[in-house]
Chains A and B, each alone.
Chain A
Amino acid sequence: MPGPDANHVAQLVQADRVHRSVYTDPAIFDLEMERIFGRAWVYVGHASQVPNAGDYHQALIGRQSVFMIRDPDGAIHVLFNRCAHKGAKLVAFPDGNAGKFLRCPFHGWSYRCDGSLHAVPIRDGYEGTRFDMQDPQFSVRRVPRQASYRGFVFASLAEDGPDLETFLGGIRTSIDNFCDRAPAGEVEVAGGVFRVWQHSNWKIFFENLNDTSHPMVTHESSVNAARARYKSLEPGAKMPFRLHIIEGNGEPYEFWDKLEMVAYDRGHSYMGAIFTPPTDPVSLAHIATLKAAYGEARTQEILEIQRHNSIIYPSCSPHTSFQQLRVIRPIAVDRTLVEIYTFKLKGAPEEVFHRAIVYANVVNSPSSNVMPDDIEVYARCQEGLETDGGEWVSLHRDAGRDRRIAGGLAANGLSELPMRNQFRAWADYMAQGA
């Protein structure tokens, strides 16, 4: 097979199938790092993770180690994690506080929180050399572009391109609804982060986020276990929340097909959920705080936007009704890191946050009863795709039946529209020379 150039890459994606090498070829992974992760807006973190001056949060943009840090004036800066002197990484913890200045642990060069060089020891040694305090090459390099939407900070390694809001397009509504569910209209990261390995290509994880025909098959074991446990409760008992969120994967195809798939440009999509007015005490208490903040009509509007996973391609996936955000970091062609953050809705009762923690524990923890079967089948895909048993991966289900809607496409819940939509964006990114 020839090395991946633009023409070659274009042939790997067709309207209803993709070539297996997009998941297995390390050269294509290298090209993705350059053309997708070197160009798209990639999620860095949430502003609430760096509440105080000097607070930082580390992230990966493709292969680039970066961190966002808050300066004493309150502004957030996204910087490469590299000292301008000898190259040492400046910050070490996933989250921490740098103090007043970022100080390199090697020779003590120090920087302000916006990355600008503050001081260098033994200054007289630089007199008459080409070293210059004011020259940006002696400051910590900033990522070319950064922007934030309702506290969600994104960065792009490309100097040019669409602005963040244009990039997000219609999927902004998922971030809006994520925040609007807070009576104060704001959310904050709380309760820790799960970090889980996937032994598979990052795109397999993304495709599965809006894959409605896998739950009843992949998750049969946990569905059966939850159902069996429910049966042993006294007859007529309401199914406990923790069993319900496991058991829901066992819904039949007809259930999933009724959900709406909505796909936007640049690979974004979401999976609609059917809105049924909640009756549990946690939701009722939450709704009461929403009504007090927004009034009846607006509250109804907010709650009627009911979605399972939303996809902000190629870096994260919010779950708006249970305050979860999954961040997807490609590490190698066959290895992906997934981070799962839980959020607090400002102004909502504490029980809503406690429920989000329970949801994270049950669904998104490495010890989840649900996820191991996902991790296993993704790894089996990765291994199967490396065989010579076939060249193409099928995306045929409901192909050619998408409906045009404002800003995107819509389809029935079982449609593979979101996967085709991701590869449409993938092909666009990959076809453009760096």
Chain B
Amino acid sequence: MDALAEASAFLFREARLLDQRSWDAWLDLFTPDGLYWAPLRHDQPDGINHASLFHEDALMREVRARRLEEKRAWSQQPVTQAARIVGNIFLLPEQDGDLMVASTFHMLEWRRRDHRMLGGQYTHRLRRTEDGLRIVLKRIDLIDCDAVHDALETFL
């Protein structure tokens, strides 16, 4: 399989795991030091000197995944339902042997009162490991990152 096909298959599988709320399987897609990051601003240089919508290592991803399944997570009564479409996938120049994959996503969410549309660009840094591709960095640039937001509870 060529790299583009391999990356595309990975992104589609990842999207499906998130749509299905298969958090544990999704968490396993990351390398141990992998980062899940959604900047708060367009062109934000880092997540250390500036607040982020998400800036989560394994520790915080696991807390989020666990909380979403807690019986008394009041804001998940009922749970968030989502469906994503990932497209416009193309390969950027590799970095130190890692695949750099740019894509565009469109995500529909439903919970309790409101439908919500979220969308933007994904940038994945994917490492080839013995277990297959693993995420070193998933960066999500929402088109409305700097908007007033309702709660963002699940992973994008």
Contacts and interface: CB of A to CB of B under 8 A. Distances in A.
Nearest to A360: B51
Contact of A373 (B49, B63, B74): B74
Contact of A191 (B50, B67, B74, B150): B50
B115 interface: no
Interface in A329-380: 337, 342, 353-354, 357, 360-362, 365-369, 371-373, 375-377, 379-380
A226 interface: yes
A372 B153 contact: yes
B70 interface: yes
B78 to A, nearest CB: 11
B40 A229 contact: no
Interface in B44-82: 44, 48-55, 59-60, 62-64, 66-67, 70, 72-77
Contacts of B70: 220-221, 224-225
Of the four ranges (under 10, 10 to 19, 20 to 34, 35 or more), the interface on chain A belongs to: 35 or more
Nearest to B155: A367
B51 A195 contact: no
Contact of A218 (B38, B54, B63, B74): B74
Nearest to A194: B51
A243 B51 CA distance: 18
A366 B49 contact: no
Which bucket holds chain B's interface residue count?
Answer: 35 or more
B59 to A, nearest CB: 7
A131 interface: no
A12 B123 CA distance: 54
Contacts of B1: none
A221 B149 contact: no
Given A191-B49, A367-B53, A222 B148 contact: no
A242 B44 CA distance: 22
Given A220-B70, A361-B55, A372-B75, A367 B151 contact: yes
Contacts of B48: 354, 357
B75 A373 contact: yes
Given A197-B149, A362-B60, 16 more contacts: A193-B51, A194-B40, A195-B149, A221-B67, A226-B63, A229-B59, A240-B59, A342-B51, A357-B48, A357-B51, A360-B51, A366-B151, A366-B152, A367-B53, A369-B64, A380-B74
Interface of A: 190-197, 199, 218, 220-222, 224-226, 228-229, 240, 242-243, 246, 337, 342, 353-354, 357, 360-362, 365-369, 371-373, 375-377, 379-380
